[in-house]
């Protein structure tokens, strides 16, 4: 097996650290305590993808967490979803920015790997689903668990899950907010490998070197032919989806549910069992 190339710093943003290792980059997400993804983080991810794709010497990217605790990313920042804290206009922009990035990542010319340390729910799971290869640690979990928050799974997030695990398993996972264990995820083909925490980065880099053996031109075009139509449909659906989602998010029941979640997370007396 080829040894990993030396590492050099490329860029640091408030929530991301981007380092180059030969022909691939490692993007480390660092927004303590749990990498909740707000507008700024999604914008930084989008700008980083622009930068990496513009550099033809970069052929792949690994996404990983740099948090103190074992969380890949807890998904979208609930403050971006809690209607009393935001507005329909801001939410529309948030939805467009985040999902345009995800749809672009899904069809990127780059080889993409998610190195998942710990929990990977909701938006973090979708980021991982958009990657070509997923590795999770032995104590991790992964799933689109939006239903547990009282909201529906976004249509194209669900379709990504369906493409990977099949219609029957996807419906059960999505409807009942299942967070799959590493062994369950591997059996479902939701992840490609399960490794001990201390071996995660080495395993991700070894997988990258193996995947980069495929010539870029044929691989990237094949990837686009397989994924391009879904990605374009996804982007075309974002504005109407943001409008229907806002109606759901601004309804009294959803507002109360999300308020209960925030109370629980902040250590206050919860108004929800979540």
Domains of the chain, first to last: 7-266 (3.90.226.10)
pLDDT in tens, the chain (274 residues): 456 666 666 688 899 999 999 999 999 999 999 999 999 999 999 999 999 999 999 999 999 999 999 999 999 999 999 999 999 999 999 999 999 999 999 999 999 999 999 999 999 999 999 999 999 999 999 999 999 988 999 999 999 999 999 999 999 999 999 999 999 999 999 999 999 999 999 999 999 999 999 999 999 999 999 999 999 999 999 999 999 999 999 999 999 999 998 888 777 443 333 2
Could you give the dihedral angle defined by the CA atoms of residues 134, 135, 141 and 146, in that order, rounded to the nearest 10 degrees? -20
Is 167 buried (19+), middle (13-18) or exposed (0-12) by CB count in 10 A? exposed
Tokens of 214: 């495929």
Q: Per residue in 6-23, is it b (16+ CB within 10 Å) or e — as a string? A: eeeebbebebbbbbbbbe
CB count within 10 Å of CB 83 equals 18
Asked whether 31 and 41 are in contact (CB, 8 A), the reply is: yes
Q: What is this structure's pTM?
A: 0.92
């Amino acid at each position: 097996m080829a040894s990993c190339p030396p590492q050099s710093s490329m860029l640091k943003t408030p929530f991301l650290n981007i380092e180059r290792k030969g022909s691939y980059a490692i993007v480390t997400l660092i927004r303590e305590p749990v990498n909740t993804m707000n507008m700024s983080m999604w914008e930084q991810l989008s700008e980083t993808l622009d930068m990496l794709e513009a550099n033809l010497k970069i052929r792949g990217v690994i996404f990983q967490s740099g948090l103190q605790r074992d969380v890949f990313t807890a998904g979208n920042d609930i403050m971006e979803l809690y209607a009393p804290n935001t507005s329909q206009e801001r939410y529309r922009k948030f939805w467009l920015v985040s999902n345009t990035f995800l749809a672009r990542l899904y069809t990127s010319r780059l080889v993409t790997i998610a190195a998942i340390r710990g929990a990977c729910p909701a938006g973090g799971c979708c980021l991982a689903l958009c990657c070509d290869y997923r590795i999770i640690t032995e104590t991790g979990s992964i799933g689109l668990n939006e239903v547990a928050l009282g909201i529906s799974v976004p249509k194209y997030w669900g379709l990504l899950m369906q493409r990977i695990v099949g219609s029957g398993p996807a419906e059960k996972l999505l409807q009942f907010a299942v967070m799959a264990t590493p062994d369950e995820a591997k059996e479902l083909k939701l992840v490609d490998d399960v490794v001990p925490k201390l071996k995660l980065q080495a395993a991700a880099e070894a997988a990258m070197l193996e995947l980069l053996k495929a010539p870029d031109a044929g691989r990237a075009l094949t990837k686009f032919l397989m994924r391009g139509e879904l990605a374009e449909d996804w982007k075309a659906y974002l504005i109407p989806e943001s409008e229907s989602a806002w109606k759901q998010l601004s309804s009294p029941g959803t507002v109360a549910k999300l308020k209960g979640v925030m109370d629980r997370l902040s250590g206050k007396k919860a108004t929800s069992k979540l």
